[in-house]
């Protein structure tokens, strides 16, 4: 087609997570085939998203404001959540994943990414400074009992876990707050035969 | 998150080609993390797309108008294209695929889908009536020499090819226009060992 | 080709784990292209395998006899293994997997399969009777402290685990022997975003 | 397990087409679990394969002799096959694939591999010398009308096709024998949208 809005949209869709050039073009053709009212609904929803949502000033989660004037997300603002636990996750979607388990009632903190291994100043990429601030405050008033680092079980996740442990350790001396990490073992659906030694070792250690 | 614009966007993105519920949510979180100017660029491009583009009144291709007042796409309006050939394709993207081959200079016609096998009135889904109209006109003035049905090599494509052949046959009696279909054979990258008998048979028939 | 030994071999190779008809034929063509000495090495090795190996009369593991007259495999015969622990696994290969972890020094017991869900008499398929006999003996002499059921984290594995627990429970009343199962959690390489609620719940419970 | 026949078999199975170390071990455990009569059937079939089969001295195909004293395979010995056509294929399995099409009645010639691109003397790997001999003979007596090079549609196949064309060309000057290659186009199941330009170009050229 070549031209203006078409090419712009291809460019924008290529930046969407998991989308390559071919699918980006399919998206634009999909939009071209949509009727006017569907397109309007889409642009309206995008505009509303910006207006209706905010980023929680405490945990960094994106949330719908629903008319309220709070700068805190529903979880951080909820008096029934257990403030003794703070779970550090990589991204918003991970919060959703843990909410589905119905077995965590503490607070969250969203890093906004994993700590890049070769980056000199990881603060540019990951929200580490506000994390330190929160941990300092919450340990000073003795509220925080446990920090759960809940990152993916891959090299980047492991590196980030180690990095954060070392970053927070000095803040936790002389406090009752301890750091924990997610348990390793067989995840649902995995067979013993195809499991790596690390996973089997963890599954054995965590037997119950 | 649960709520308004977020859920609306998930719903809309699920309708995008190849997108499931999980990726739809990732898209919305991606939008949430975008800065205001990127979002504006996106909604502007979507709005412009509608204004800047039109559907060719002859072949059905979506095209950018570029200020011109034509109702014809660049291909249909191009006096250098060979009007003796008409290639029937399923969708806009297929036009792009054939343009990349640099070996077809005729006109196109976009069906807007394949002929549904169990549908009583396929005209609801596929642009068959305007196709008949074009074929009638172009054969009357003796312009059209060849109609190439260029559909995918799968059951739906084969059914549609047969359906269109039978639909157009009565219009072509006493004309010099003939119908052809794409050649079958080994497509790039396929091995003899893993090819089905039909493909090998075609490859053998089309040897050269 | 059609005929005798060729077709027989195809039939036999189809029964090999993970081999379909096409690959079975490829195997036979591979054998056809082998020189006489390689073929002889193959048949000799198969014949020797039978003679050199035995099935451990205690745990069911297949082992190379190495001239010894023992009916016990190297593990069961090893006085340095910890006889207080018995790990129940599905198959020989699982023993190899756990040996690679270097973190288990107890004995094994090979079921020879998982307990079939719809089978009236699972003893036909799985070695449950000798398991009961061993457990009875080893608890009577107070040797056995822990039975680890180490089956895959899928429905068949879970069903088998439950079945074996109930089968052994009556034998363990008034003994100090307890039953444990493998820990669940994130296995190496899994991301939080793509983990199911069960796995995350386990990972959370097993945090450390 | 460690030891003799077990490790030998693992080593042999690793050389089977498409088999890695893990599956090789699974094969040996599968053999260990087989009863004596099944194992005997396997080794008998392997021994018989060698005795019952021969390599056709003309085309190189492996075939079952069935008591006959011929050195020719069923196809080369069949007086009803069309001796005017010779199809050059990579391997035995490709003969089977073309036989399934029921649309070729000529003779075959098995290269035994593709021409290696970086090999100085490809004759070590591929049966090119006997091919030249056959072509010389069959063109001298004017029997041969067409040589069909039927190799896979990938870079190695294309290189081999070109190599063989140039190798045979000098033998075909002043003869009525022509060389042909398999037709390219859409293979069964491929969609226009996902086809590469080469495939579409061929499909267009081979339209009918």
Question: Over the stretch C8-41, which tens digit does the pLDDT of each residue have?
Answer: 999 999 999 999 999 999 999 999 988 889 999 9
Domains of chain B and any CATH numbers: 5-54 (1.10.8.420), 81-181 (3.40.1360.10)
Contact D200 B151 (CB under 8 A): no
From chain A, the residues in CB contact with C94 under 8 A are 192-193
A191–C contact, CB cutoff 8 A: yes
In order, the DSSP letters of D6-59 are HHHHHHHHHTSTT--HHHHHHHHHHHHHS-HHHHHHHHHHHHHHHHHEEE-TTT
Q: Are A94 and A100 in contact (CB under 8 A)?
A: no
Averaged pLDDT for residues D196-207? 94
CA distance D8 to C52: 12
For chain A, the chains sharing at least 3 beta-carbon pairs closer than 8 angstroms are B, C
Among D195, D190, D206, D146, CA closest to B205: D206
Encode pLDDT of D87-110 as tens digits.
999 999 999 999 999 999 999 999
Q: Is residue C129 exposed (0-12), middle (13-18) or buried (19+ Cβ within 10 Å)?
A: exposed
| A153 pLDDT higher than 90 | yes
Contact D182 B93 (CB under 8 A): no
Both tokens of C164, joined, read 């074996």
From chain B, the residues in CB contact with D150 under 8 A are 192, 203-204
Count CB pairs under 8 A between chains A and C: 182
Using CB atoms, which residue from C6, C55, C64 is nearest to D4?
A: C64
Averaged pLDDT for residues D9-36? 93
Contact D153 B183 (CB under 8 A): no
Encode pLDDT of A111-139 as tens digits.
999 999 888 888 888 999 999 999 999 99
pLDDT of residue D33: 87
Question: Which pLDDT band holds residue C7 (cuts at 50, 70, 90)?
Answer: very high
Contact D27 C36 (CB under 8 A): no
pLDDT of residue B2: 40
Contact B207 D182 (CB under 8 A): yes
| C190 pLDDT higher than 50 | yes
CA distance C48 to A63: 68
Sign of CA dihedral D117, D122, D127, D133: positive
| D206 pLDDT higher than 60 | yes
Averaged pLDDT for residues D63-74? 83
Question: Which pLDDT band holds residue A107 (cuts at 50, 70, 90)?
Answer: very high
Contact B26 A18 (CB under 8 A): yes
| A2 pLDDT higher than 70 | no
CA distance B14 to A206: 39
CA distance B118 to A2: 37
Averaged pLDDT for residues D21-36? 92
Please, which residues 60-79 of chain C have a Cβ atom closer than 8 Å to chain D?
A: 62-64, 66
Task: Give the three-class secondary structure for D119.
Answer: coil
CA distance A10 to C95: 53
Contact C52 D3 (CB under 8 A): yes
Which residues does chain B have with pLDDT short of 70? 1-3
CB atoms within 10 A of CB B59: 25
pLDDT of residue A119: 82
From chain C, the residues in CB contact with D49 under 8 A are 5-6, 9, 28, 31-32, 39
For chain B, the chains sharing at least 3 beta-carbon pairs closer than 8 angstroms are A, D
Among C185, C197, C194, CA closest to A101: C197
C52–D contact, CB cutoff 8 A: yes
- For tokens 């998982």, the residue is C114
Using CB atoms, which residue from A193, A196, A205 is nearest to C183?
A: A205
Count CB pairs under 8 A between chains C and D: 135
Among D105, D117, D122, D183, CA closest to D149: D183
| D2 pLDDT higher than 60 | no
Phi, psi (deg, nearest 5) at residue D73: -75, 170
Least Cα separation, residue D148 to chain B (angstroms) = 8
From chain A, the residues in CB contact with C208 under 8 A are 180-181, 183
Please, which residues 110-169 of chain D have a Cβ atom closer than 8 Å to chain B?
A: 148, 150-154, 157
Count CB pairs under 8 A between chains A and B: 136
Averaged pLDDT for residues D84-89? 97
Encode pLDDT of A69-90 as tens digits.
779 999 999 999 999 999 999 9
On average, the pLDDT of chain A sits at: 92
Contact D30 C9 (CB under 8 A): no
CA distance A23 to B88: 23
pLDDT of residue B188: 93
Task: Give the three-class secondary structure for A125.
Answer: coil
Both tokens of A160, joined, read 């980030």
Least Cα separation, residue C112 to chain D (angstroms) = 9
Q: Are B199 and D161 in contact (CB under 8 A)?
A: no
Percentage of chain A with pLDDT > 70? Answer: 98
- For tokens 């629903």, the residue is A66
Percentage of chain C with pLDDT > 90? Answer: 80
Encode pLDDT of D126-160 as tens digits.
999 999 999 999 998 888 999 999 999 999 999 99
CB atoms within 10 A of CB A69: 5
CA distance D78 to B90: 47
* Strand residues in chain D grouped as ranges (E): 53-55, 62-64, 82-89, 106-110, 146-149, 178-181
A189–B contact, CB cutoff 8 A: no
C174–A contact, CB cutoff 8 A: no
Distances (CA, A) of A99 to A49, B28, B84: 22, 18, 63
Least Cα separation, residue D40 to chain B (angstroms) = 31
Q: A interface mutation test: which of B9, B14, B30, B32 has the most A CBs within 10 A? A: B32
pLDDT of residue C50: 84
Contact A192 C103 (CB under 8 A): no
pLDDT of residue C183: 94
Q: Are C78 and C63 in contact (CB under 8 A)?
A: no
Using CB atoms, which residue from B150, B190, B192 is nearest to D150?
A: B192
Using CB atoms, which residue from B190, B197, B208 is nearest to D180?
A: B208
D97–C contact, CB cutoff 8 A: no
Contact A197 C150 (CB under 8 A): no
Q: Are D107 and D76 in contact (CB under 8 A)?
A: yes
Using CB atoms, which residue from D17, D28, D64 is nearest to C6?
A: D64
From chain C, the residues in CB contact with D47 under 8 A are 39, 43
């Amino acid at each position: 087609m070549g031209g203006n809005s078409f090419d712009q949209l291809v460019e924008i869709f290529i930046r969407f997570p998991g989308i390559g050039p071919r699918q980006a073009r399919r998206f634009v053709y999909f939009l071209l085939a949509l009727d006017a009212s569907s397109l309007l609904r889409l642009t309206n929803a995008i505009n509303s998203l910006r207006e209706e949502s905010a980023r929680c000033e405490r945990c960094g989660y994106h949330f719908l404001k629903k008319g309220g004037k709070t700068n805190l997300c529903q979880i951080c603002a909820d008096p029934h959540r257990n403030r003794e636990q703070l779970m550090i996750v990589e991204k918003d979607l991970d919060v959703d994943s843990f909410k589905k388990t119905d077995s965590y009632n503490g607070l969250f903190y969203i890093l906004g990414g994993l700590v890049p291994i070769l980056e000199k100043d990881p603060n540019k990429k990951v929200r580490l400074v506000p994390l330190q601030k929160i941990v300092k405050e919450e340990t000073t008033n003795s509220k925080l009992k446990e920090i759960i680092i809940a990152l993916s079980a891959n090299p980047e996740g492991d590196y980030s876990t180690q990095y954060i442990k070392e970053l927070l350790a000095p803040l936790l001396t002389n406090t009752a707050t301890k750091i924990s990490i997610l348990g390793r073992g067989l995840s649902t659906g995995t067979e013993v035969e195809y499991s790596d030694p690390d996973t089997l070792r963890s599954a054995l250690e965590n037997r119950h």
